[in-house]
Amino acid sequence: MNNLTHINVKVINPLPFQPAGLSGNADAILHEILALLEAFISTGQNGAIDLHSLPLTAADLELLRATLGDGEVSARIHVIGNTEVRETTYPGVWWLTYYSDEGNVVADLLEVTTVPEILKAPAEDVREGLVRLGDLLGATG
Amino acid sequence: MNEPDTLGAGLAHSGVSRRSFLKFCTVMASLMALPPGAAQAMAAALSQAKRQSVIWLSFQECTGCVESLTRSFDPTLEQMIFEMISLDYQETLQAAAGEAAESARDEAMKSSYGKYLLIVDGSIPTKDGGVYSTVAGVSNHDRLIDAARGAAAIVAVGTCSSYGGIPHANPNPTGAVSVSDIIKDKPIMNVPGCPPIPSVIAGTLAYFVTYGKLPELDHIGRPKVFYADTIHDRCYRRPFYDQGKFAKTFDDEGARNGWCLYELGCKGPTTYNACATIKWNGGVSYPIESGHGCLGCSEPNFWDKGSFYRPLSTPLADNAHIIAAGTLGGIAAGAVAAGLSRKHQTHIGEEK
């Protein structure tokens, strides 16, 4: 044996076998939220964490949910399936879960912002609404 | 009929709200591991974009690739890609036939010369002058050369057009080859799979419409955003492999306990695709989750690599040592895993 590559490494994947099923990723995410909140307060920069591609165990998700909790606002958006928007107990930290028509989760994000973009009424849609309402009143009035 | 100027106006015209459009972009950005903020930028860019002219040619194929995209379980989401493109020629989907269809394609090729995206599914037979597959008396080979000339880029959808696929399998009676075997002077992206995952087709097309170019490709032309990791790297049965727990037959204790299918011939360790993360049938499962090893259908020559049930002889190097190093500390392990899954985000975020 004269080379590091000759050492036979036996890999044990840490994910499902840590104490209480935690991978350490939930803790890392909570610290990332802390950093995003600091950045948001000092510079106004919005932040987001995409949970989709992160290796999270059920226990990780449970820890995240329990730590962040449910805040004052929750909303449901009905476009191509549901989208759930929940503010956590930490104002400005939002949990957005996007579902498909069949109810599968298709995207799962944490956002740090005043109001998530998808909640706001898009300016063009507002203008088109004005036209529609105007037409309606013009037609009946 | 007057087509609306921009995609945004076009979507509104067909009753697609801007929120649902933003949702589509969020899901696509998430699938491609773009930075989370990219969804908004993508939605803004797309709503100002023109509908992308697309010409889709089908050669030696089974139509499974088109089926995959158009009959996905989540039609309203993935099929929104059809709102973003102007599909000017597709033999299976178009209403026109015969002379009308052929002249529509020629017209689109002329009016969008240099700008249209050419999609190809199916391999191209080259033996005996290419007589084994012809449309309207023109061989696939000649049609491809002709259509490639004015294309901004070419997307080979499916393993056949990417690498020759099943027609190319030994003894390859028609002399079938891939698109990149014939065309050398155009950007070509391979989106292999038999068929490819519908979201992968939709995602790569959305990327092209948004950024006007192909995403970063690996050494055999695949978009890294979807094909960077092996099935084995992201498999939920990976821990059993690491512990040396293997199913030996399809009905033993190991199989019932959901242990690793490596010894039953699973090609997950040498197959680069997104099945383990995006999954199939609207995210229901993927072959390994249903108890069968991966066939490696997105890899070149997958049909000729011996039995689907013979264990791989390839030594597994990949990134095992990196993950092993990460186990030194709990949080460090998490950071490494997170880092691995985000390793492609940095440069993509710079593409605006």
In a domain, B112, yes or no: yes
Say if residue B120 is in the same domain as residue B170. yes
Tell me the ipTM for this assembly: 0.77
Task: Give the burial string for B105-130 (b: 16+ CB within 10 Å, else e).
Answer: beebbeebeeebbbbbbbbbbbeeeb
- How does residue B316 score in pLDDT terms, banded at 50, 70 and 90? low
For residue B109, give the CATH number of its domain.
3.40.50.700
A100 Cβ under 8 Å from any chain B Cβ: yes
User: What is the span of the domain harbouring residue B339?
Assistant: 319-352
B77 Cβ under 8 Å from any chain A Cβ: yes
Q: How many CA atoms lie within 13 A of B2 on its CB side?
A: 5
Chain A, chain B: beta-carbon pairs less than 8 Å apart: 137
Say if residue B86 is in the same domain as residue B74. yes
- Least CB–CB distance from A23: residue in B37, B277, B334: B334
pLDDT surpasses 90 at A71: yes
pTM as predicted:
0.78
pLDDT surpasses 80 at B135: yes
Say if residue B120 is in the same domain as residue B198. yes
**Size (chain B), residues:** 352
- Residue of chain A minimizing CA distance to B19: A118
Name A19's Cβ contacts closer than 8 Å, sequence gap at least 6: none
Q: How many CA atoms lie within 13 A of B241 on its CB side?
A: 18
pLDDT at B343: 40
**Size (chain A), residues:** 141
Chain A residues touching B31 at Cβ < 8 A: 52
Say if residue B233 is in the same domain as residue B336. no
Residue B235 CA to residue B269 CA, distance in Å, equals 9
Say if residue B114 is in the same domain as residue B131. yes
Chain A residues touching B19 at Cβ < 8 A: 77, 79, 118, 122, 125
Say if residue B66 is in the same domain as residue B177. yes
In a domain, A114, yes or no: yes
Q: In chain A, how many domains are there?
A: 1
- How does residue B346 score in pLDDT terms, banded at 50, 70 and 90? very low
Residue A30 CA to residue A63 CA, distance in Å, equals 10
In a domain, A2, yes or no: no
Say if residue B259 is in the same domain as residue B331. no
In a domain, A37, yes or no: yes
Mean pLDDT of B142-162: 97
Percentages (nearest 5) of helix, strand, coil residues in chain B: 45, 15, 45
Share of chain B above pLDDT 90, in %: 53
Q: In chain B, how many domains are there?
A: 3
pLDDT at A57: 81
Say if residue B175 is in the same domain as residue B280. no
Mean pLDDT of B154-159: 97
- Least CB–CB distance from A101: residue in B76, B238, B277: B76
Say if residue B340 is in the same domain as residue B233. no
- How does residue B46 score in pLDDT terms, banded at 50, 70 and 90? confident
User: What is the span of the domain harbouring residue A108?
Assistant: 20-136
In a domain, B139, yes or no: yes
Name which of A97-101, B144-148, B224-228, B339-343 the model is least confident about.
B339-343
pLDDT surpasses 70 at B96: yes
In a domain, B26, yes or no: no
Name which of A22-31, B196-205, B313-322 the model is least confident about.
B313-322
- How does residue B337 score in pLDDT terms, banded at 50, 70 and 90? very low
- Least CB–CB distance from A98: residue in B8, B27, B324: B27
Say if residue B124 is in the same domain as residue B148. yes
Task: List the single best residue of B13, B25, B26 to mutate versus A (max A Cβ within 10 A).
Answer: B26
A75 Cβ under 8 Å from any chain B Cβ: no
Read off the pLDDT of residues B260-278 as tens digits, 9 standing for 90 and up: 999 999 999 999 999 998 8
CB-CB under 8 Å, B341 with A55:
yes
In a domain, A77, yes or no: yes
- Residue of chain A minimizing CA distance to B73: A102
CB-CB under 8 Å, B327 with A27:
no
pLDDT at B75: 53
For residue A87, give the CATH number of its domain.
3.30.1370.140
- How does residue A31 score in pLDDT terms, banded at 50, 70 and 90? very high
